[in-house]
Amino acid sequence: MRVAITGALSYTGRYLSKLLLDNGVNHITSFSRRTTPLTSHLLNQNDLSKITSKPLDWTSRKAMSESLEGIDVLFCTYWIRFEVDGDTHEKAAARVGELFHAAKDAGVKKVVFSSHTRTSLTSPYTYIRGKALAESYLRAICSTSSMNYSIVRPCGIFGDTPSESILMNNASWVMRGTPLFLLSGCGGEVFQPVHVRDMARLMCDLGESMHTTSEELDACGPDAPTALELFRRLNEEVDGNGFVIASGLPTRVIGAMTKPIDWITGDVLLDTDDLDLLGSGLTRANNPDDELIKGRRSLFDWIGEVKG
């Protein structure tokens, strides 16, 4: 099986690459400018010798198709987190749609796309609406061709180390340094993230089933705590200095309160869009009865093991 990943050395891509190589894939094409792994663990030098990185020309369907010639399975994890400098989630969906067209033109047998739980074309959230649009492009292209597809639906990912879960790592940092950790709203919103190894396993299994199609599965873990339950547990495990409180405040106020921390760290601690999405009711499985969910790694166990 000949495979390509839109970022084989990035976050989820590294774990997916390792599984594919361990399962006998001899070479992976990584459509990215990144030539070194995001972190040094996981992939050894022998693994890295089997991964070739080359950027995609997103402006040319023909060039993308040429890059995909000979590829059996395309794993698409590409997306943008924020809308910045005129680049929108709708534009990201359009780019991905062009990539799917290029894959069809190149004779790719299957595309596995990383989307999000509870997508909708009418969602008020641009991130969710963009993902839904990308899904619609993929379904339409496959319905009129012999190319197969799978869609996996995460709503958040945590990894082997604290730094591989941005949300939890940032929250731990705040908890250790401030007397209060304020949640927006009532704190009753459910969050059901997945461990990155389970996410990679699901994508790998679907990709290796080249001749099946139309699978749309949740990439969620077995724990689905409310925000209040999650962050109080995290506060206990990381020996936080204060209290976790559901403030009743809107997300824009909480987001504004974190801006000084952004200036200090040079990073975005909690974007208002992230907070809105966490409080939207969309960060949980579409199908909570999916048997695959029960066998995945526990978020609470992970928190106890790595402790931010």
Confidence at residue 269, expressed as pLDDT on a 0 to 100 scale: 63
Confidence at residue 111, expressed as pLDDT on a 0 to 100 scale: 98
Among 297, 44, 9, smallest CA distance to 160 is for: 297
- C-alpha distances in angstroms, 260 versus 72, 160, 177? 48, 29, 13
Residue showing tokens 């994508």: 203
Share of the chain residues as helix, strand and coil, in percent rounded to the nearest 5: 45, 15, 45
- C-alpha distances in angstroms, 208 versus 25, 182, 202, 275? 10, 44, 10, 35
The one-digit pLDDT tens for each residue of the chain (308 residues) are 999 999 999 999 999 999 999 999 999 999 998 888 877 778 999 999 999 999 999 999 999 999 999 999 999 999 998 898 999 999 999 999 999 999 999 999 999 999 999 999 999 999 999 999 999 999 999 999 999 999 999 999 999 888 788 788 888 888 888 898 888 889 999 999 999 999 999 999 999 999 999 999 999 999 999 999 999 999 999 999 889 999 998 888 887 877 776 776 666 666 777 788 888 899 999 999 999 999 999 999 999 988 65
Confidence at residue 71, expressed as pLDDT on a 0 to 100 scale: 98
Side-chain-side CA neighbours of residue 269 (13 Å): 18
Confidence at residue 207, expressed as pLDDT on a 0 to 100 scale: 98
Confidence at residue 202, expressed as pLDDT on a 0 to 100 scale: 98
Confidence at residue 265, expressed as pLDDT on a 0 to 100 scale: 64
d(CA 1, CA 36): 23
Confidence at residue 268, expressed as pLDDT on a 0 to 100 scale: 66
Q: Which two tokens stand for residue 84?
A: 């910045």
Question: Do 146 and 184 touch, CB atoms closer than 8 A?
Answer: no
Confidence at residue 140, expressed as pLDDT on a 0 to 100 scale: 98
d(CA 115, CA 92): 12
Question: Do 96 and 131 touch, CB atoms closer than 8 A?
Answer: no
